[in-house]
Amino acid sequence: ALRFAATPPRLAAPIPPTSAPRAHGGVARAGALGGTRRGRRLAMAAADSARCRAKREGDGDGVIAGVAVHGGTGAEGEDQLSVVMKFGGSSVSSAARMKEVAGLIQAFPEERPVVVLSAMGKTTNLLLLAGEKAVGCGVTRVSEIEEWNMLRDLHIKTVDELGLPRSVIHAKLDELEQLLKGVAMMKELTLRSTDYLVSFGECMSTRVFAAYLNQIGVKARQCDAFDIGFITTDDFGNAEILEATYPAVAKRLHGDWIRDPAIPIVTGFLGKGWKSGAVTTLGRGGSDLTATTIGKALGLREIQVWKDVDGVLTCDPNIYPNARTVPYLTFDEAAELAYFGAQVLHPQSMRPAREGDIPVRVKNSYNPKAPGTLIAKGRDMDKVVLTSIVLKSNVTMLDIVSTRMLGQFGFLAKVFSIFEDLGISVDCVATSEVSISVSLDPSKIWSRELIQQARA
Ligand SMILES: Nc1ncnc2c1ncn2[C@@H]1O[C@H](COP(=O)(O)OP(=O)(O)O)[C@@H](O)[C@H]1O
Ligand SMILES: N[C@@H](CC(=O)OP(=O)(O)O)C(=O)O
């Protein structure tokens, strides 16, 4: 599909790129992370100014206002959390990569980041494969599952190379092995237990990374998203974040920071089902959504998503290696690109950023000097013709042809009520007097029922 940018009127001047990292290595300033009384006073002052701002701007969405009720936060205070830095699996795939990420965090001593991490490298895929194999292999053969051995070895090697005690990871690895044996025993892997299984990826990467930061003198605190207020629907595998998440996460992260300032290292991708209380996941690539949710909850200055590419590119670099970086995007453009197949961002992740009006910067952790892509409310569209090309595979096209449409009203409404009943999302629509063509979101399963109802 070719996505052409429309040419709306000029909206806002582009925001200049962030300053390049100042230095690599070294230990973060103690002052920036210190829990002084002055810091707390500043925090309260910032809370007051956030309250005033919310009042002035008539901010009715309850985020800043909601936080203020619980003691307040805001991005203005010197000792407040200031940005989200999310690092994807490719950025934390080994001990060497984790050291570089730690260096990146230290290179911005003026920031007080909330760090969001994905699972190391391809751990999520390995966990899914290990789970599938466990269903059919029998309890005694779990220890032979190749993917389980690969991910266990990766985590132990990483801990060793970072000079950390293996106890950092042992409890989680033991629990994971028990879980795989449980799956093998039951010969069953439900969506609910799959979510619990894959959660080990983020639970382990954050524990390892937080321990490493503490070891090098940067005070950090590991946080499981499902324990700090990420409340979701119980749609295992593709859970939606509920509104209650925002005040809960803000209260917890802000409260912890005021009590004992330490960089929060939060598990991406995970939540807690509001009915079941079980661990849920936000859909593949969901750590981006974790990052933007935290950004909105705390009203932070910026959300940074660090990838293995120089930003959002003009097309998938796996298809066209000479793709160029798109320097500026609007939230709507980024959401549309993500929804229509640009794997670089989670399709839902732009929503909290847009609602909170918090710029998202897509950066390359392998090439931090590159300016990346800045996603914000508006950008200069004067010279824009083509923004980016995306490809979406396995799209289902449905053509409905009927002479009963001629001169009638309500035909489209009937067709769309069938989609609604069956929970099917429609991407594109084209109509004429005698036919309707729609393309259906491949992530939703559609069934024969649809054809039968369309015929009726
Ligand atoms: N339009 C695009 N712009 C940038 N990257 C893209 C695009 N389309 C697909 N990609 C792919 O998305 C990858 C980055 O996304 P992802 O793997 O989710 O990163 P991470 O795991 O670090 O969060 C890139 O390595 C690239 O192969
Ligand atoms: N680990 C999860 C969540 C995620 O966001 O990963 P990444 O940031 O590496 O795309 C996944 O693989 O889907």
pLDDT of residue 87: 98
407 alpha carbon, distance to own chain's centre: 47
Substitution site in 92, 316, 337 for ligand 1 pocket (most atoms within 8 Å of beta carbon): 316
Phi and psi, residue 221, nearest 5°: -130, 125
Q: What is the dihedral of CA 77, 79, 83, 85, to 10 degrees?
A: 180
Helix (H) or strand (E) holding 83: strand 83-87
Residue nearest to atom 12 of ligand 2 (CA): 124
pLDDT of residue 448: 53
Residues forming a β-bridge with 305: 86, 362
Q: Is the CB of 271 under 6 A from ligand 2?
A: no
Separation of 287 CA from ligand 2 center, angstroms? Answer: 6
Q: What share of the chain is helix, strand, coil (3-state, %, to 5)?
A: 45, 15, 40
Ordered by where they begin, the domains of the chain are 18-309+344-371 (3.40.1160.10), 396-455 (3.30.70.260)
Q: Is the CB of 284 under 6 A from ligand 2?
A: yes
Q: Is the CB of 124 under 6 A from ligand 2?
A: yes
Q: Is 294 exposed, middle or buried (0-12, 13-18, 19+ CB in 10 A)?
A: buried
Return per-residue pLDDT of the chain as tens, 456 residues.
333 333 333 333 333 334 344 333 322 222 223 333 333 332 333 333 333 333 333 333 333 322 332 333 444 455 789 999 999 999 999 999 999 999 999 999 899 999 999 999 999 999 999 999 999 998 999 999 999 999 999 999 999 999 999 999 999 999 999 999 999 999 999 999 999 999 999 999 999 999 999 999 999 999 999 999 999 999 999 999 999 999 999 999 999 999 999 999 999 999 999 999 999 999 999 999 999 999 999 999 999 999 999 999 999 999 999 999 999 999 999 999 988 878 889 989 999 999 999 999 999 999 999 999 999 998 887 777 788 998 888 788 888 888 777 777 888 888 889 888 877 888 889 988 788 898 887 655 555 555 566 555
Substitution site in 309, 345, 363, 392 for ligand 1 pocket (most atoms within 8 Å of beta carbon): 309
**Which residue has tokens 């099917």?**
424
Q: Which amino acid is at 76?
A: E
Residue nearest to atom 13 of ligand 1 (CA): 344
Phi and psi, residue 84, nearest 5°: -105, 135
**Which residue has tokens 């969901």?**
286
Quote the CA–CA distance of 175 and 329 in Å, as a whole number: 43
Separation of 121 CA from ligand 2 center, angstroms? Answer: 9
Q: Is the CB of 72 under 6 A from ligand 2?
A: no
Residues forming a β-bridge with 389: 2
Q: Which ligand has the minimum distance to the alpha carbon of residue 362? A: 1
Q: Is the CB of 90 under 6 A from ligand 1?
A: yes
The strand ranges marked E within 263-359 are 263-267, 270-273, 279-281, 302-307, 328-330
Separation of 165 CA from ligand 2 center, angstroms? Answer: 26
Separation of 310 CA from ligand 1 center, angstroms? Answer: 10
Separation of 89 CA from ligand 2 center, angstroms? Answer: 6
- Could you tell me if 312 and 326 are in contact, meaning their C-beta atoms sit under 8 angstroms apart? yes
Separation of 166 CA from ligand 1 center, angstroms? Answer: 32
pLDDT of residue 395: 81
Q: Which ligand has the minimum distance to the alpha carbon of residue 282? A: 2
Q: Which ligand has the minimum distance to the alpha carbon of residue 329? A: 1
Quote the CA–CA distance of 323 and 130 in Å, as a whole number: 35
Report the atom number in ligand 2 closest to the C-alpha of 287: 5
Closest C-alpha among 286, 385, 301 to residue 343:
286
pLDDT of residue 224: 98
Q: Are strands 231-232 and 373-376 parallel, antiparallel or unpaired?
A: unpaired
Closest C-alpha among 359, 334, 351, 339 to residue 243:
351
Q: Is the CB of 101 under 6 A from ligand 2?
A: no
Q: Is the CB of 291 under 6 A from ligand 1?
A: no
pLDDT of residue 25: 30
Residue nearest to atom 12 of ligand 1 (CA): 344
Separation of 284 CA from ligand 1 center, angstroms? Answer: 12
Q: Are strands 220-223 and 435-440 parallel, antiparallel or unpaired?
A: unpaired
**Cβ-Cβ contacts under 8 Å for 412 (sequence gap 6 or more):** 431, 436
Which tokens hold the place of 150? 């690969």
- Could you tell me if 429 and 419 are in contact, meaning their C-beta atoms sit under 8 angstroms apart? no
Separation of 13 CA from ligand 2 center, angstroms? Answer: 32
Report the atom number in ligand 1 closest to the C-alpha of 362: 4
Report the atom number in ligand 2 closest to the C-alpha of 86: 8
Q: Is the CB of 312 under 6 A from ligand 1?
A: yes
